[in-house]
Amino acid sequence: MTRAIQPLQPIKSTFSHRMLRIAASCWLIVASVGQWLFGFYILLFYGKTTLTSDFERWNRVLPHGYVAGDWVGNLIVGIHVLLASILVIGGPIQLLPWVRHQAPVFHRRLGQLYLVTAIVVSIAGLVMVWTRGSVGDTIQHYSISLQAVYIMGFAYQSIRYAKARQFNQHRIWALRLFMVTNGGWFFRVGLMSWLVINGGPVGFDPQSFTGPFLTFLAVFTYAIPLSVVLLELYLYACQTLNKTLNYLVSATIFLVTLLTTIGIFGATLGLWFPQIK
Ligand code: HEM
């Protein structure tokens, strides 16, 4: 394929470009498994409690999840968490090359569903933060709100370029959207990775859910998403012949893959599995 039609692949098949591809594939495989585990938790925990009308159980994981009598607020929480499963299960499916090439109609339909769902989940999330309240402090609340703005802006750009049939730009914006939409997942995985590595809470107070580490994590996950910064570095490295940069970006992605693996392990055993077993 030529560079003109395939900007997300390295321009040459040098060793340093192959390393970039391997690093990105490793991260994507690990992240896909981690997101599907999060998706199964959402379906099994929120799906089951919703079907059995056992809404009080939401408060075991969400301090502001269910408020007796406030059916509008509860409905918004329900919409937020249940539709979130479409994003965390559907996102990695959209990135599977096989789906893109062999099932283009499915890819298009799932893409449309993903875009609409991302916007609805973000609006519901904004309502939750600013009406019901959320764990953490004001910096965390502003940071996650900024994430909602990015999600809606990137979704708009992605739709715009798809409609204009500029598919290179569409794919780049869709990848940026994938990164910001997964902010909540990155936050949980980052937090659990930190807890596993330190053997417990360091740099924050688990009771108030505030402290320097959580401020850092919220700002660099939501407000200035490092996931998007790394994606941009990867896209740039794919187009350059600067071997040093390519190795540096590959090494960073490998390191992130290791931290992601640790975080998924911690989140699955510490957060998700205990709620569904
Ligand atoms: C679009 C991607 C998003 C996904 C996939 C997502 C997913 C989820 C899930 C699954 C939960 C339940 C967490 C658990 O059971 O451990 C949750 C909670 C929550 N989300 Fe989101 N979310 C997203 C975006 C947002 C945004 C943009 C905001 C705010 C602007 C937001 C605000 C919240 C709040 C306030 C809670 C409840 C946490 C608490 O009670 O403190 N979410 N989200």
pLDDT in tens, the chain (277 residues): 333 334 466 666 788 999 999 999 999 999 999 999 999 999 999 999 999 999 999 999 998 899 999 999 999 999 999 999 999 999 999 999 899 899 999 999 999 999 999 999 999 999 999 999 899 999 999 999 999 999 999 999 999 999 999 999 999 999 999 999 999 999 999 999 999 999 999 999 999 999 999 999 999 999 999 999 999 999 999 999 899 999 999 999 999 999 999 999 999 999 999 999 7
Domain count, the chain: 1
- Full domain range(s) for residue 167: 15-276
Residue ID of nearest Cα to ligand 1 atom 21: 125
Tell whether 4 is covered by a domain.
no
Give the C-alpha separation, 71 to 67, whole Å: 8
Give the C-alpha separation, 194 to 81, whole Å: 25
Tell whether 150 is covered by a domain.
yes
How many angstroms does the Cα of residue 81 sit away from the middle of ligand 1?
7
Which atom of ligand 1 lies at the shortest distance from residue 182's CA? 2
Residue ID of nearest Cα to ligand 1 atom 9: 81
Tell whether 167 is covered by a domain.
yes
Tally Cβ neighbours within 10 Å of residue 245: 15
Tell whether 135 is covered by a domain.
yes
Q: Find the radius of gyration of the CA atoms of the chain.
A: 19
Tell whether 10 is covered by a domain.
no
Tell whether 8 is covered by a domain.
no
Residues having CB within 6 Å of any atom of ligand 1: 42, 61-65, 80-81, 84, 87-88, 118, 121-122, 125-126, 128-129, 134-135, 144-145, 147-148, 151, 181, 184
Residue ID of nearest Cα to ligand 1 atom 8: 81
